[in-house]
Structures are given as structure tokens and as C-alpha cells.
């Protein structure tokens, strides 16, 4: 259940085995600096774990599980993990196939009631791989109000049941939570037990995951974190939604330790067999397997997924060549966990990572800053720059303000997110005509309006 962010969207417990080399100790120190960079920027609270196989390199907790009560996060705090749930749903379907209860190449309509005839060509595999063409119910009109109340999975699917397929099944990739809610219904129909019970008996208990389960709103769950949103005025409690809505597309909670157990069990063929795992981790359209993205990151194969749900953001990365697991669970809904996970991956492979905390800030004369004031755009991005109290301020269309910090008279960066800009002047007149904006290693030209 995750949105996509663009520019301007918006102590520690650790274990290091004594057998690790000095270089690993230095590596761990840099990893801690990576995380602290986002803690200092007030864009992250949560837990982080890095492990090579069973060897834990870093296991740490940051910030608060509950700000009202001044309860700190600990390394066994439980976080909502959003769409990380999907890999457990996919695994459950593959388990049922191994047991002869279904075949993923069969039409989904065989196992679902009230399945529209217009969707009859959709197979279970299409649901698993997001190639069904079924619309995403979380994008239905009025969904913001709908998700505040309890609803059954069937009611959620009904939000788009009357719609035609967006494309012929199997021809395109389109990430739709409806696919995985339908898979949850199939699991319950075929197994004859509730989704939560099936996962507990067939995945959580075998993997030793004692701190993972479905996040029922009314349940008392010890050490469960409260979710927050990041605002210009600091952290705010997130709006509560009913956890009946995400269902098998996103309503699990877990810990960094349990998610390491999960990776170790899954990739050791202890939950599903080797053939099922190959199916799950073979990239198809959209670099998606079944409940997992299969990508290349900095030259290394990466099996990954992230999860977003109100007040929480999570990232779970696995590098098969080194059996490296990186888990970042946050209880502030920003994209910091995704950035942290990616940068920890780079550090673990000995690659250079430049943090905002590494950058030297210099003071720029107000007269020079005033030359940068104005409106800038490069569709769909736009921002207004102004000078306030001697600082260069960027104001997003939603009104949120960001301070631009100078490394040179023409080169600035943001602390909150990985964005750098370099102003460009007309060679003849010397007037500022725009800037080059670099975000996540990609650079684009942004022109000054007027």
C-alpha cells in the first residue's frame, strides 16, 4: 500500500560479533552515521538491522515508539510493515500449490465468488505478478473516507468490481492492491482457515517468528509502535485507518529480528521448496516476481520490497550473492527507510556514500541569495525560492518550506532529502536562468519562470 514520492514530498543497541575484522567495525560505524543522518534530519524513527547470513553487523533502535508517553523504540519494537505483507501472501499461495490445492496457472474465478465475468481471463499468477489488469481499489473515489471504517475484503474489491480490466491479463505490469486482497480470499477459501491462522501455522511458527502477526485494531499488542507523520511543525500522530482494509495486501506487523528469521528461512528453502522460490524470485514485467521486486542495485542482485501504510514505512532488502539482509522499519511516514536501506547496501559493499552531514556549509551574502529568488519549474515539479532571515527557502506547492544550505555560492543542498541544486547563469547577462537538480543520482534541468 505505497504511494510514490517526488521532490518536496516529504540511544542505540548494536551487536558486532568479535570475529568480525577491523574493516567491518569501520563499516558498522559508517552505517550508524548513515542512519543518524536521517535521525538528525527528523525524518526517521525506527529500527535497523544489517546481517550477513546469521551474523548481525548492526542492530539498532532510534527515536520513540510513543511520543506521548516518551517510550523509546527498542530492537524488538513491533512496526506495521504494509506491503511487505505481500511476500507472505505469495508464499502462502505457492505452499498451497505445492500441496496440490491449486495451480497458479488456473483462472482465479475458479476459487472466488462474485468474480466478474469481465475478469474471467485473470489467472492466480496474474494476481501474484500484478499483471491482471484489475484496478487498484485504493484509488477508488472516496477511498480516503472509506478506509476509516471496518470493511470486509469482499467489500473492498466491490469498489472496483464493476470496472473493466485496465489491460489484457499478462501484457502489462500495474501494481494493484486488489490483486493481493483477492489472493488472501483464495487462501482462505482453499485452506478453509482464516488468513491469519494460515500464516501463523505455516510460516510464522516454522520460521520461529514469534513477534509477527496481523495488526488487529482492537488487539493489545505489546511493544507496538505508534505511527507518525512528518510535518513542518514536527511529528504528528497519523490518522487512524481500519486495518481491515489492507488485509492480505498489507496488514502485518513485525520486528527487524523476525524479518531476518524470515529471510533466512525463505532463502534456505525451509518454507517453500526450491522450485517455488525460483518462481517467486524470477523477475517478470516491472522487475516483479511474486510479492517481490528483483532488481540490480550498484551491480548486485537485489531482492526487495518496501511497505507504506499510515504512519509507517519499511524496507526489506536481500542480496543473494552475500546472503546479506537489510531491514529498516520506521514509524514516521517518510521515504527515509528506503534511502537508509539503499545507502546501507552501498556501504556494505564498500561503496562511497555522501551524506548531508558530510557536507561543509558556508554562509552566502544576502545580496547573492536575493538573485536566486523566484519561481522555478520543470513539469511536474515546481518550487518558489525566497530569502527569509538570511536563508534561502524553497516553498513547495503544498506550502511546505525547506532550507537550502550552501556548499559554494552556486551549489546548495537540502538536509531532509537527497537533493542538490546548482544554479545556472546566462553567460552574457550573468542573470540566473535556472538550476540543475540532482535527486537520487539523477539530474534534471529546472528553468526559472519569467
Residues 110 and 236 in one domain: yes
In a domain, 1, yes or no: no
In a domain, 2, yes or no: no
Residues 307 and 440 in one domain: no
SS3 375: strand
Cell of 170: 499478462
Encode pLDDT of 226-251 as tens digits.
999 988 778 999 988 999 999 999 99
Residue 23 has a pLDDT of 62
The mean pLDDT value for 270-289 works out to: 98
Residues 78 and 220 in one domain: yes
Cell of 195: 488468513
Residues 303 and 377 in one domain: no
* Cα pseudo-dihedral 194, 195, 196, 202, rounded to 10: 110
Q: What ranges in 352-410 are assigned the alpha helix state H?
A: 366-372
In a domain, 304, yes or no: yes
**pLDDT at residue 133 greater than cutoff 80:** yes
**pLDDT at residue 113 greater than cutoff 90:** no
The mean pLDDT value for 317-323 works out to: 97
Q: Are residues 337 and 329 in contact, defined by beta-carbon separation less than 8 angstroms?
A: yes
Residues 175 and 26 in one domain: yes
**pLDDT at residue 112 greater than cutoff 50:** yes
Residue 205 has a pLDDT of 98
H or E segment to which residue 127 belongs? helix 124-128
Residues 215 and 335 in one domain: yes
In a domain, 227, yes or no: yes
pLDDT band of residue 217 (cuts 50, 70, 90) is confident
Contacts of 155 (CB under 8 A, 6+ apart): none
Percent of the residues in the chain that have a pLDDT greater than 70, as a whole number? 95
SS3 57: strand
Residue 236 is part of which domain span? 22-348
Single residue among 295, 320, 348 that ends a domain in this structure: 348
Q: What ranges in 300-395 are assigned the alpha helix state H?
A: 336-348, 366-372
Cell of 152: 470486509
Find the angle CA(57)-CA(37)-CA(5) to the nearest 5 degrees.
105
Single residue among 348, 375, 404 that ends a domain in this structure: 348
Residues 237 and 382 in one domain: no
Q: Distance (Å, rounded) from C-alpha 308 to C-alpha 432?
A: 39
Return phi, psi of residue 261, to 5°: -60, -40
Residues 248 and 135 in one domain: yes
Residue 234 has a pLDDT of 86
The mean pLDDT value for 73-91 works out to: 98
H or E segment to which residue 124 belongs? helix 124-128
Residue 20 has a pLDDT of 36
Give the chain's count of helices (H) and strands (E): 12, 21
Single residue among 304, 329, 348 that ends a domain in this structure: 348
Cell of 36: 543518524
Domain count within the chain? 2
Q: Distance (Å, rounded) from C-alpha 226 to C-alpha 71?
A: 10
The mean pLDDT value for 391-402 works out to: 88
In a domain, 11, yes or no: no
End-to-end CA distance of the chain: 40
In a domain, 365, yes or no: yes
**pLDDT at residue 16 greater than cutoff 60:** no
Q: Distance (Å, rounded) from C-alpha 414 to C-alpha 383?
A: 13
Cell of 143: 477511498
Amino acid at each position: 500500500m505505497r504511494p510514490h514520492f517526488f521532490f518536496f514530498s516529504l540511544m542505540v543497541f548494536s551487536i558486532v560479533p568479535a570475529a568480525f575484522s577491523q574493516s567491518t567495525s569501520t563499516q558498522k560505524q559508517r552505517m550508524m552515521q548513515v542512519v543518524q543522518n536521517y535521525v538528525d534530519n527528523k525524518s526517521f524513527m525506527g529500527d535497523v538491522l544489517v546481517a550477513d547470513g546469521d551474523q548481525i553487523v548492526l542492530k539498532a533502535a532510534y527515536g520513540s515508539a510513543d511520543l506521548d508517553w516518551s517510550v523509546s523504540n527498542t530492537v524488538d519494537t513491533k512496526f506495521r510493515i504494509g506491503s511487505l505483507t505481500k511476500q507472505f501472501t505469495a508464499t502462502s499461495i505457492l505452499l498451497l500449490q505445492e500441496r496440490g490445492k491449486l495451480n497458479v496457472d488456473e483462472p482465479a474465478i475458479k476459487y472466488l465468488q462474485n468474480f466478474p465475468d469481465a475478469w474471467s481471463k485473470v489467472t492466480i499468477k496474474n494476481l501474484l505478478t500484478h499483471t491482471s489488469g484489475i484496478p487498484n481499489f485504493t484509488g477508488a473515489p472516496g477511498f480516503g473516507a472509506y478506509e476509516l471504517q471496518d470493511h470486509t475484503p469482499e467489500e473492498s474489491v466491490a469498489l472496483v468490481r464493476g470496472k473493466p480490466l485496465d489491460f489484457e491479463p499478462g501484457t502489462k505490469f500495474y501494481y494493484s492492491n486488489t490483486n493481493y486482497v483477492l489472493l488472501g480470499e483464495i487462501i482462505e477459501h482453499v485452506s478453509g482457515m482464516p488468513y491469519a491462522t494460515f500464516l501463523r501455522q505455516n510460516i510464522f511458527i516454522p520460521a520461529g517468528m514469534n513477534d509477527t502477526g496481523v495488526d488487529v485494531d482492537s488487539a493489545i499488542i505489546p511493544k507496538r509502535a505508534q505511527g507518525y507523520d512528518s510535518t513542518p511543525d514536527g511529528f504528528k500522530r497519523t490518522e487512524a485507518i481500519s486495518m481491515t482494509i489492507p488485509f492480505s495486501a498489507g496488514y502485518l506487523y513485525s520486528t527487524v529480528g523476525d524479518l531476518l528469521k524470515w529471510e533466512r528461512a525463505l532463502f534456505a528453502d525451509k518454507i517453500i521448496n526450491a522450485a517455488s522460490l525460483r518462481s517467486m524470485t524470477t523477475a517478470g514485467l516491472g522487475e516483479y516476481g511474486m510479492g517481490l521486486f528483483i532488481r540490480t542495485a550498484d551491480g548486485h542482485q537485489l531482492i526487495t520490497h518496501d511497505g507504506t501504510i499510515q504512519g509507517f514505512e519499511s524496507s526489506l532488502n536481500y542480496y543473494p550473492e552475500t546472503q546479506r539482509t537489510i531491514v529498516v522499519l520506521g514509524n514516521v511516514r517518510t521515504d527515509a527507510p528506503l534511502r537508509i536501506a539503499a545507502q546501507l547496501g552501498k556501504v556494505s559493499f564498500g561503496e562511497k556514500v555522501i551524506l548531508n552531514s558530510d557536507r561543509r556549509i558556508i554562509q552566502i551574502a544576502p545580496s547573492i541569495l536575493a538573485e536566486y529568488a523566484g519561481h522555478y519549474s520543470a513539469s511536474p515539479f515546481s518550487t518558489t525560492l525566497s530569502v527569509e532571515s538570511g536563508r534561502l527557502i524553497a516553498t513547495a506547492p503544498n506550502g511546505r518550506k525547506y532550507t537550502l544550505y550552501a556548499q559554494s555560492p552556486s551549489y546548495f543542498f537540502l538536509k531532509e532529502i537527497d537533493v542538490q541544486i546548482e544554479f545556472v547563469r546566462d553567460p552574457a547577462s550573468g542573470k540566473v536562468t535556472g538550476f540543475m537538480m540532482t535527486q537520487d543520482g539523477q539530474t534534471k534541468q529546472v528553468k526559472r519562470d519569467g
